Amino acid sequence: MATTGLPATMRGLWAKDGFEFGVAAACFLGALLLGPIRGILIAFVLALVNLTRRAANPAVDVLGTTEDPDQALPVLGDATESEPGVIVVRFSAPIFFANVGLLRDRVHAVVEAAQVAPSGASDGAGAPAVRHLVLDMDGVTDIDVTGADGLEQLRSWLQGRGTQVHYSRVRPAVADRLHHFGLDERSAMFGTNRAALEELRSR
């Protein structure tokens, strides 16, 4: 029968990913109790939920520096700045309604932590602790309207603290979206994070 290998397949799914096991189980039971079309529809909806869940919780990393030009910039642990006065933040998903709040909260936390860190102390003239924030957009493939609104709010918050926002590793289609939403005004775009750090460390 076609279901002969089903138990082994389900055990494999359970061992690898509990949520995907749930999707497969719902599809099987839906097809068994409601018919194959409805079972497939149930699986499709659950798969969309799973995709949204993953996209809503992407990695948001602060990147450090390295002397090796051939080595990728490392992900920092507890450090708050890539270099004194400059932070590079990598966001690894399209920016949309479900995750722009995560990006905002992470940037707020990092910038505020830099304000109180020893290396982030303002100078006597009142210069901001974080002069520049670079968003590494290599993992960003799109920006929706809500995501653009959230980015604009983040930019306003940063600029109110004297921090300029820039972008690195931006895909052409995403650069068009940034321009369309007016999010590239007063912002530089860099081909690499290393180029951004080299340019901004002296500004």
Is 60-200 in CATH node 1.10.10.10? no
Query: Looking at residues 151-178, what average pLDDT do you find?
Result: 97
The CATH 3.30.750.24 portion of the chain extends over 60-200
DSSP state letters, the chain? -TTTTHHHHHHHHHHH-HHHHHHHHHHHHHHHHH-HHHHHHHHHHHHHHHHHHHHTS--EEEE---S-TTSPPPBPSS---SBTTEEEEEE-S-B-TTTHHHHHHHHHHHHHHHHHSGGG---TT---S--EEEEE-TT---B-HHHHHHHHHHHHHHHHTT-EEEEES--HHHHHHHHHTTTTTT--EESSHHHHHHHHTT-
Residue 189 has pLDDT above 50, yes or no: yes
Does 157 have pLDDT greater than 90? yes
In the predicted structure, residue 61 carries a pLDDT above the cut 80: yes
Residue, of 56 and 126, whose pLDDT is higher: 56
Q: Of 28 and 150, which is predicted with more confidence? A: 150
- Is the pLDDT at 156 greater than 90, yes or no? yes
pLDDT band at residue 33, thresholds of 50, 70 and 90? confident
Quick one: pLDDT at residue 1?
44
Q: What is the pLDDT of residues 10-29, one digit of tens each?
A: 777 777 777 777 777 877 78
Residue 3 — pLDDT band, cuts 50, 70, 90? low
Average pLDDT taken over every residue of the chain: 84
Residue 88 has pLDDT above 70, yes or no: yes
Average pLDDT over residues 171-192: 96
